[in-house]
Structure 1
Amino acid sequence: MSVATFAVLVVAGFFTGVVGFITGMASIVSYPALLAAGLSPITANVTNTVAMVAVGVGSTANSTKELRGRGPRLVLWSICAALGGLTGALVLLLAPAGTFEAVVPFLVAGASLVLLLLPRIRQLRGHANFPRTLPVAVFVIAIYGGYFGAGAGVIFLSVIMLTTAETMWGATILKSFLLGIANLIAAVGFAAFGPVNWVAALALALGALIGGWCGPPVVKVIPPNALRIAVGILGLGLAGWLLLR
């Protein structure tokens, strides 16, 4: 890999980290960048998952206060995310190519619509929360996150907002943390058995670490409703891209 390509991937990694934390759509930046660098789709996929661990590390390091005080719930959600990430990695390595591709655009579109309609949905829901639903949802979404992950953050965000009383800020922190765990566990499997391009992963991770660190301060100054609407609209665009690509 040339120095210029390495530098481009570092820059792409930075924007991946920022975009990934704010919108949950990191892979829409990083995956095409890896393909442009000459990696095959499978190699780009596993390399991307390994590098995306850095986004979770960077953002979590800069938002630890928001994660404190959640106690056993956070431990349970973390275990579900880890098991889902491991399952997703196994699916990618062992299952036929394209296992999830047909349904993913519709999942992302549905999650985006939930975000756009969230005030009305919460109004109809009243004060009811669904704490028992969230661990199962975290496990299922983490499977997709470990498998490919484009739009997994959007799905995480919408499910957290739908099943709990979390604010947009709190849900964004949780989304990044749980997706980071799923990526980490999947990355361990890919490191052992997958065709990771370590030079590309290092370049992308360097930028993503800094971008992930910069994400929380940026989100703090964005009005929650504006962020929710922006993520919903971008998520619909991502769903269209996934459907047509």
Structure 2
Amino acid sequence: MEILSGLLVFFAGLWAGTINSVVGSGTLVTFPVLIALGVAPVTASISNAMGLVAGNAAGAWGYRKELQGRGQQLVRLLPASLLGGISGAWLLLHLPEKVFQYAAPVLIVVALLMVVFQPRLQMWVRNREENPEHAIRDKGHSVALVVLVYLAGVYGGYFVAAQGILVVGILGVFMTGTIQNANAMKNILVLGVNIVAAASYLLFAFGRINWPVVAIIAVSSLIGGVVGSKVGRRLSPPVLRGVIFTLGLVALGFMVANLLK
């Protein structure tokens, strides 16, 4: 890889790692850069996903304080996310790409609405929990959260881009705590899905991996993940929701533009 191309990939990975730890959608930065540099689409997608695992790990570590006291929630949700990632990887090998290209924009719109209206939706969930008429609501909401996390894992295993926005939207409504707590949990769940995806690439698509690209994105996204976690943890809930919404609109724009080509 030429020096200039390597620098472009490095800075794309740096930015992707930063925004991934804050909310997600870093793939929408790195993937177009790789395509512009002439990397084959499938190779670009695989190599990019593998490289960004390092940034995901850095972001998850940076948000570790926001996970304190949430071990039980993590134990309940992580298996669902991993199973979703495995299901998504299986679908990637058996379904046409167009299926999720059409579904992804709809899912992102739903996620953005959940993020924007999170305080009201969360209040509605809490009010139902406190109402004796809804005695089974705890189980219902718990099951709904696990199922939604699984489905988000399926989405992430098949169509990596912007899965963080979808996950934080779900967690922000159904999980107790602040949106920063939801973001911290999101980093762990997305990391799990991406590790599953990376493992599947190593097993079934080893010959399509561009290792120089993986190495550059891994290093740069690792740095970006550290930076992003420090910045993101200082943002107030309204500002963080604003950042998520803005990046979500950008992700949605990319997806719709891709469909219209």
TM-score calculated relative to the size of structure 1: 0.93
Deviations 1:78-117, CA, capped at 9 Å, x for gaps: 1111111122122223322323111110110111122112
1:226 matched to 2:233: no
Listed as ranges, the gaps of 5+ residues in structure 1 are none
Is the contact between residue 165 and residue 248 of structure 2 (CA under 8 Å) also seen in structure 1?
A: yes
CA–CA distance in structure 1, aligned partners of residues 39 and 236 of structure 2: 38
Give 1:120 shift: 2.5
Determine the structure 1 residue equivalent to 2:183: 172
Q: Aligned partners of 2:118 and 2:152: how far apart in 1?
A: 19
Distance 1:122 1:77, change over 3 A: closer
Distance 2:101 2:168 in 1: 20
CA distance in 2, matches of 1:50, 1:151: 16
Instruction: Give the match's secondary structure for 1:221.
Output: coil
> Given the alignment of the two structures, is residue 135 of structure 1 paired with residue 146 of structure 2, yes or no?
yes
Matched, 1:7 2:20: no
Give the Cα–Cα distance (whole angstroms) in 1 for the partners of residues 88 and 238 of structure 2: 32
The alpha carbon displacement at 1:187 in A equals 0.5
Alpha-carbon distance in 1 for matches of 2:28, 2:230: 22
Specify the SS of the correspondent of 2:190: helix
**C-alpha RMSD over aligned residues:** 1.7
The answer for the alignment partner of 2:202 in structure 1 is 191
Which residue does 2:172 correspond to in 1?
161
Residue 36 of structure 2 aligns to which amino acid in structure 1? A
Structure 2: any 5+ residue segments left out of the alignment? 130-137
State the distance in 1 between where 2:119 and 2:65 align: 27
Tell me which amino acid in the other structure corresponds to 1:89.
Answer: A
Percent sequence identity over matched residues?
30
Separation in structure 1 between the aligned mates of residue 252 and residue 228 of structure 2, nearest angstrom = 23
Separation in 1, partners of 2:67, 2:125? 26
Count of aligned positions: 245
1:188-219 per-position Cα deviation (integer Å, ceiling 9, x unaligned): 00122122211111111111111111222101
Of Structure 1 and Structure 2, the greater helix share is in: 2
Look up the SS of the partner of 2:102 in the other structure: coil
Counterpart position of 2:158:
147
Which segment drifts farther, 126-135 or 182-191?
126-135
Partner of 2:40: 40
